[in-house]
Amino acid sequence: MSVDCLPPVDSSPTGASARARPNYSRRRAWVLLAVHLAILAHVAQWMWGGSTLSPVEPSEATDLAEHGRLNAGAIFFLVTIASTLVFGRWFCGWACHLVALQDGCRWLLMRVGLRPRAIQLGVLGLVPLVACIYMFLGPWLYRLWQGIAVEPRVALFTEEFWATFPGVTMSVVTFVVCGFGAVYFLGSKGFCTYACPYGAIFGIADQLAPQRIRVTDACQGCGKCTVACSSNVRVHQEVRDFKAVVDPGCMKCLDCVAACPNDALYVGFGAPALWTSRRTEPPTRERANASQRWVRAALEPTFVAALFVVLLSHQQQFQLGEHGGFVAAMALGTASVAWLFRGRATRNAGPALGDELLLAGAYLFALFALRGYRPLAPLVPWIEARAPWAASLGLGEGIPLLLSLGLAGLWAYSLLLAVRLLRRSDVSLQSLALRAAGRMTPAGRVFAAAVVCVLGLTVHAAAVRGAERDAADASARARAEAELEYARGLTQLESDQLEAAERAFRAALERDPAHVGARKRLVGVYFASGRDAECARELEQALSVAPGDPDLWFLRGLLAIRGGDAAAAESAWTRALDFDASHPAIREALAALCEERGDAAGARAHRAAARPSGP
């Protein structure tokens, strides 16, 4: 938010302002420090004990949406949302490690004289809500759409605490991009406003919460509360218009309460923001012409649908016939929720329509290119050959979702500035002039060169990601065709058409050489047709693909028996028991061997250890 339009701020301590006011910033800093210490203690306990409570982190709730597993993170997220419905958006202000990062970066930037101003990026403000629905509702809704049931279960403990978190390299990049980058380019809560999926749901719950920042009649409209707010809320205006802060961006940090010289602000219960009536006339905005209004009206749902397509196509190829209806329903639902909970706060006007279209297109392109892109992957073998310790840094990792959302926002805004450099006589990035009075400044030249380089890298990333997705699609298609051939082979096997079955299993292996089922069945076909040499050759190949498959070891034993080598058979079957200790056919075969050599006790023991064979 800009602090333009503020009344002149009176800095003289009046009687009321001279009182000792609680320092909520300091209290918040202590609470955030305690949160980080608790996280460190949790990590230490896991490293020490090997098993621990699953991460208490909202992102873990994706496991509930995708696999029906209720873990500690999902419970924490649900409890936090429920408490936000009553107390407002407290988690963001008091418990989020990313708010600590953004506040810390803002504080450092202000120490060097930079006060980041909030930038309005129009339709990109929908990104957090789309990301939230994609992460936490999408998988669940898609299963409902497909009629697939998932058995819910509780999974509170884990041995793989770090499995869902990025490695060192991506963590450092996240720190820089979501901290300094987002704060400097987009404002003090840049990541929260344009990338964070949790913020979207907290913002919605906040609008239904009865507890808010409210005002008494002591307010004199001085604007000090707005100056104190690092969440870009126009506090003085909101309390004037609504007698309460209604902006869903309010994180209940209480800095405004502490800053008010008249003690006019307090935290209190009353009507939720959605139903708070306005005490003043709403500001009149210049109305766009009819065609622009239509384009704008269509832009939001179109952008939301396109964003869903880009996000979904990360996992599988988007097929219009198969996924189009689902995406259209999700986009319409999301756009409706966004409209319903758009908030009643008065904000600066957004970008012009042309700029908004450019931002939307650039964002989608960058997200497609960057998510999952592994920028250092080609260099990893070279680096690790010279510095083996670098293997622990995760240099070859792909860019994770949240980082790619943040990067795409920065990239889209940078491209917009670069285009403005070509068309406007005055352009600035925050307080840094890039072009002044029609002349490019040195900073502007550096910025333009950087944007051209990053554009080149992004195009390269898009080409790489496109090729990777094509390869993944081709391999998924080949796997699906292999499954079909395999199923055909099984049918032919059932009707004893061994030759036709062999052809089908071979065809399956041509399409997917790692298809263990087809390879196993092929071994069985050779065995049944008495082609022992081919059987042995195929069996060794199958064991190299699936060395832990007990059926393959069983077949190896059968082959050895046929060759008259009972010792080799026993050794193969004993090995098979390592992978399935109660395999009925293997136990029976071992029992038969024991009986042959007169070991009745051994035979009994094997039969007792076998699980009942299937019907």
Tokens for 510, please give them: 């041509």
Closest approach, Cβ 378 to ligand SF4, in A, equals 32
CA atoms within 13 A on the CB side of 232: 24
Q: Is the dihedral of CA 184, 189, 190, 196 positive or negative?
A: positive
Which lies closer to ligand SF4 via its Cβ, residue 26 or residue 604? 26
Closest approach, Cβ 505 to ligand SF4, in A, equals 52
Member of 76, 191, 365, 527 binding ligand SF4 (CB under 6 A): 191
| Coil vs helix vs strand at 211 | strand
Select from 234-242, 378-386, 485-493, 497-505 the region that touches ligand SF4 (CB under 6 A): 234-242
In sequence order, the β-bridge partners of residue 158 are 52
Q: Are 362 and 412 in contact (CB under 8 A)?
A: yes
Q: Is 254 in the site for ligand SF4 (CB under 6 A)?
A: yes
Q: Is 264 in the site for ligand SF4 (CB under 6 A)?
A: yes
Select from 44-52, 258-266, 462-470, 499-507 the region that touches ligand SF4 (CB under 6 A): 258-266
Member of 32, 61, 74, 96 binding ligand SF4 (CB under 6 A): 96
Q: Is the dihedral of CA 368, 372, 376, 379 positive or negative?
A: negative
Member of 204, 253, 345, 415 binding ligand SF4 (CB under 6 A): 253
Determine the size of the site formed for ligand SF4 (CB under 6 A). 39
Q: Is 98 in the site for ligand SF4 (CB under 6 A)?
A: yes
Which lies closer to ligand SF4 via its Cβ, residue 265 or residue 367? 265
Closest approach, Cβ 434 to ligand SF4, in A, equals 28
Q: Is 252 in the site for ligand SF4 (CB under 6 A)?
A: yes
What is the rounded CA–CA span in Å between residue 588 and residue 4?
85
Backbone angles phi, psi at 75, to 5 degrees: -65, -45
Which lies closer to ligand SF4 via its Cβ, residue 224 or residue 519? 224
Closest approach, Cβ 373 to ligand SF4, in A, equals 23
Closest approach, Cβ 396 to ligand SF4, in A, equals 27
What is the rounded CA–CA span in Å between residue 394 and residue 377?
10
CA atoms within 13 A on the CB side of 418: 20
For residues 344 to 363, the per-residue mask of contacts with ligand SF4, x marking binding by CB under 6 A and - elsewhere, is: --------------------
Q: Is 25 in the site for ligand SF4 (CB under 6 A)?
A: no
**Burial, 36: exposed, middle or buried (Cβ in 10 Å; 0-12, 13-18, 19+)?**
exposed
Residues of span 396-435 touching ligand SF4 by CB under 6 A: none
What is the rounded CA–CA span in Å between residue 136 and residue 132?
6
What is the rounded CA–CA span in Å between residue 79 and residue 76?
5
Which lies closer to ligand SF4 via its Cβ, residue 204 or residue 418? 204
Name the pairing type of β-strands 69-70 and 153-154. Answer: parallel
For residues 194 to 233, the per-residue mask of contacts with ligand SF4, x marking binding by CB under 6 A and - elsewhere, is: --x-xx--x----------x-x---xxxxxxx--xx-x-x
Cα 323 from chain centroid (whole Å): 20
Q: Are 85 and 192 in contact (CB under 8 A)?
A: no
Which residue do the tokens 């999902």 mark? 74
Which residue do the tokens 């059932």 mark? 494
Which lies closer to ligand SF4 via its Cβ, residue 193 or residue 414? 193
Tokens for 196, please give them: 């964070």
Q: Are 233 and 255 in contact (CB under 8 A)?
A: no
Q: Rounded to 5 degrees, what angle do the CA atoms 423, 429, 432 make? A: 110
For residues 150 to 189, the per-residue mask of contacts with ligand SF4, x marking binding by CB under 6 A and - elsewhere, is: ----------------------------------------
Member of 71, 188, 207, 262 binding ligand SF4 (CB under 6 A): 262
What is the rounded CA–CA span in Å between residue 528 and residue 139?
44
Which residue do the tokens 């504080």 mark? 107
Which lies closer to ligand SF4 via its Cβ, residue 213 or residue 338? 213
Tokens for 40, please give them: 């460190």
Q: Are 250 and 89 in contact (CB under 8 A)?
A: yes
Q: Is 105 in the site for ligand SF4 (CB under 6 A)?
A: no
Select from 95-103, 150-158, 385-393, 534-542 the region that touches ligand SF4 (CB under 6 A): 95-103
Member of 99, 418, 482, 493 binding ligand SF4 (CB under 6 A): 99
Closest approach, Cβ 212 to ligand SF4, in A, equals 9
Which lies closer to ligand SF4 via its Cβ, residue 135 or residue 393? 135
Q: Is 576 in the site for ligand SF4 (CB under 6 A)?
A: no
Tokens for 594, please give them: 């024991």
Q: Are 542 and 523 in contact (CB under 8 A)?
A: yes
Binding site for ligand SF4 (CB under 6 A): 92, 96, 98-99, 191-192, 196, 198-199, 202, 213, 215, 219-225, 228-229, 231, 233, 235-236, 239, 245, 250-256, 259-260, 262, 264-265
